[in-house]
Amino acid sequence: MLRTATHDTSIVTVEFDTGAKARFHAIWLRDNALDPETRAPGNGQRLITIGDIPANVSVSAAEVVNGDLSVTFQPESKTVTFPAVWLADHVYDRDQTLQAGRIAPGITTWERGIDAPSSDWTEVHTNQTTKRSWLAAVAEFGFAKLTGGPTEPESLLKVADLFGYVRETNYGPYFEVRTEVNPTNLAYTGLGLQAHTDNPYRDPVPTLQILYCLENSAEGGDSIVVDGFRAAEKLREQNPDGFALLAGYPARFEYKGSDGVCLRSRRPMIELSPDGELIGIRFNNRSSAPFVDVPFDQMEAYYAAYRQLGDIIDDPAMGVSFKLESGESFIVDNTRILHARLGYSGAGSRWLQGCYADKDGLLSTLAAMEMAQPEAAE
């Protein structure tokens, strides 16, 4: 509910019943009008362009009607109602924290010692609450396990079906991770792999990866996940200038390990939104290309920061490790979480299948479930 509304020609100021006040600009309110000529009633999509709004838009009246805000815009002489709840949800007249490298709301960073979020295969397929908490774990922690699944090949595709679609690449809809005699990629050998994000040479990168275990009787081969956002936070604390270098200049990544494929990207190792929110990590020693976008007199400092970030990532205190059994899988947010594996020996066998999928689809499924069942929120 609103208590009061005052205005001049370009700004409306409202006071909520909580006592909080907020200002809204005339152009902002007109652009966001909720009437059926501005927003399609069915799908909520905007029907007007910015050019359809008169450049000299102004407010000629603003008053509280039944607790909501009624505004009349000129020169259209158009009166629109804005529900108080809607206004409260869309306040932008507030102190915005703009610290570079800040973590978005809803994300919890972690190190070794947390319990790996884990759900049961049958439960996520039959119980909406379990499915929702599994999706929510990926959103908050960037990874989650699934246990008790089938051991047939291609079962990983059913994991993607839970929230969206497989993202097919030149590796196919999915790829096999087991020892090959002449591997096209080091992932297909028994070597240990440093923690990395996958495919930084793509733009955009695959935002989710699913790794599904079908056999794992080999010695070793444990999976390790590291929170790249926590690593970035640590680098920022230890070496703010180095953090700024890794965030401020593009790295280069490249993959041309098979015929007809030459993937290249020019993106930073630490990616920030324009207002400083941490939105992505790219870290992969195997596919880093020569860095040529860092100024000459900054290159040594850039490398020092790169080394420092690598040391943080390699620190055993950072990683959560587990050994997947057959029928178990995990999903990682590939824009945030690095994954690694210990080396494994030729004794026994290790067979995983991997695929990519899109995080926007997962977050969409989660948000739609939260909207449909807000009372189930934790």
Does residue 198 bind Fe ion (CB under 5 A)? yes
* Tokens matching residue 167: 């993202």
- As measured in angstroms, the least distance from the Cβ of 356 to Fe ion is 10
Size of the site for Fe ion (CB under 5 A): 1
| CB nearer Fe ion, residue 62 or residue 224 | 224
Stretch in the footprint of Fe ion (CB under 5 A) among 88-96, 130-138, 193-201, 249-257: 193-201
Stretch in the footprint of Fe ion (CB under 5 A) among 14-22, 56-64, 128-136, 195-203: 195-203
Element of type H or E holding 202? none
- As measured in angstroms, the least distance from the Cβ of 169 to Fe ion is 13
Does residue 277 bind Fe ion (CB under 5 A)? no
Stretch in the footprint of Fe ion (CB under 5 A) among 43-51, 78-86, 194-202, 217-225: 194-202
- As measured in angstroms, the least distance from the Cβ of 339 to Fe ion is 6
Question: Backbone phi, then psi, for 160, in 5-degree steps?
Answer: -60, -35
- As measured in angstroms, the least distance from the Cβ of 231 to Fe ion is 16
The rounded distance, in Å, linking the Cα atoms of 237 and 124 is 38
* Tokens matching residue 260: 């007809």
Does residue 233 bind Fe ion (CB under 5 A)? no
Stretch in the footprint of Fe ion (CB under 5 A) among 52-60, 191-199, 299-307, 366-374: 191-199
Burial class (CB in 10 A: 0-12, 13-18, 19+), 276: middle
Angle between helices 240-248 and 299-314 (to 10 degrees): 100
The rounded distance, in Å, linking the Cα atoms of 107 and 195 is 21
| CB nearer Fe ion, residue 229 or residue 356 | 356
| CB nearer Fe ion, residue 242 or residue 280 | 280
- As measured in angstroms, the least distance from the Cβ of 235 to Fe ion is 22
- As measured in angstroms, the least distance from the Cβ of 171 to Fe ion is 11
State how beta strands 118-120 and 143-147 pair: parallel
The rounded distance, in Å, linking the Cα atoms of 338 and 101 is 18
CA distances from 14 to 27, 32, 57, 65, 80 (A): 16, 16, 19, 12, 15
| CB nearer Fe ion, residue 133 or residue 287 | 287
Beta-carbon-side half-sphere exposure of residue 207 (alpha carbons within 13 Å): 13
Contact residues toward Fe ion (CB under 5 A) are 198
